[in-house]
Structure 1
């Protein structure tokens, strides 16, 4: 077990977005989350690295680190939680006034206070790894959407997290740019990264996932092996959603 999630609950005012989510993530596993808009997928990801603070629930990691949101949680705990997970956003979220290299070095230098020479070497290595070694001095507006998203992946990797979170990483991309980004994620999967990916790319989910989760109305409706959930779902809500995605 890498991470255990128990009773994770989150509301925004009267709107209950997550309703007592229970989830176990094993080390090196790739979990993809599918479901309609507004089902709580993104909020769940954001709760896993303290971008949103749950109302209730316990996160327990393999190394004994635990955060119980039913009790008072310290800034130190939230900081440690945020360092455990690297987040790749739907809309890139790059600093427009910084080069690709500067975007990647920002977290390790400013937040983690690591040595500049070490961080530069790491950042250049990661940008090469995602196929952008020749683009590191360019600014976001000089890069395609797919290249910007690969910078986003490199930036998340640069903090050297234990867990990678992807929030619909290809949904803002033109169709011809999707393949390059998915290939980078597949390469990370082959390296044994533990990942949670929110996606509408069902074929991709089938190819890379150990587990597929279908969420609706803030709850996990169904979860299991990709071939089971995507090909032979047991829940009618899952079946209807998959048919809508395949035949919009």
Structure 2
């Protein structure tokens, strides 16, 4: 991981976060709403896993999987925007460019590598590779259309909305309690939101790295880039090897 990855966030970030503690709703209401949202997502994820088990082996070869996933992500985004109503989205969701794109891309590359190595070792060590059961084992060229639709849902829409939810809104709201609290709580929420047990440590590790990336760059864009790249790589490798 690049040097300085764990350093304190720049001072301007704290000033921007202060915007959330003013206004008609107040920071307490927004933070509670966000925590309830994250808890609800985790409950739904684990409830679905317990009642339905793994998704079908050909889930990513079905259009309904992509459509359903995108609809759910859009609903999630709408709730996040509702929580941040009345606040500048640029500040609430950290939708601002990093101070230096060169530095941000370097940190993003370091985070990408760290996730692949760290999460990969965790998954192998815990034998959690097949727990999610989403990626297909074989490539079916006759079903390119639905796979492409699911690629957009999993490698673009999903990562963008999840980053806005956890590293955007979550980091901003919890930043009042300190960087460490914001990083740890958003990472745990992100991990639990996937409804997995064996792979939970790997997902939390993913959340920690992307949260630190958000912290170091004062922007959600680098973590979005890492998340999209990771999911895209996973989907490509799954059918290419």
Same fold (TM over 0.5): no
Higher strand share: 1
TM-score tier, shorter chain, comes to: under 0.3
Greater relative CO (CA pairs within 8 A, separation 6+): 2
Higher helix share: 2
Under a length normalisation based on structure 2, what TM-score does the superposition of the two structures give?
0.27
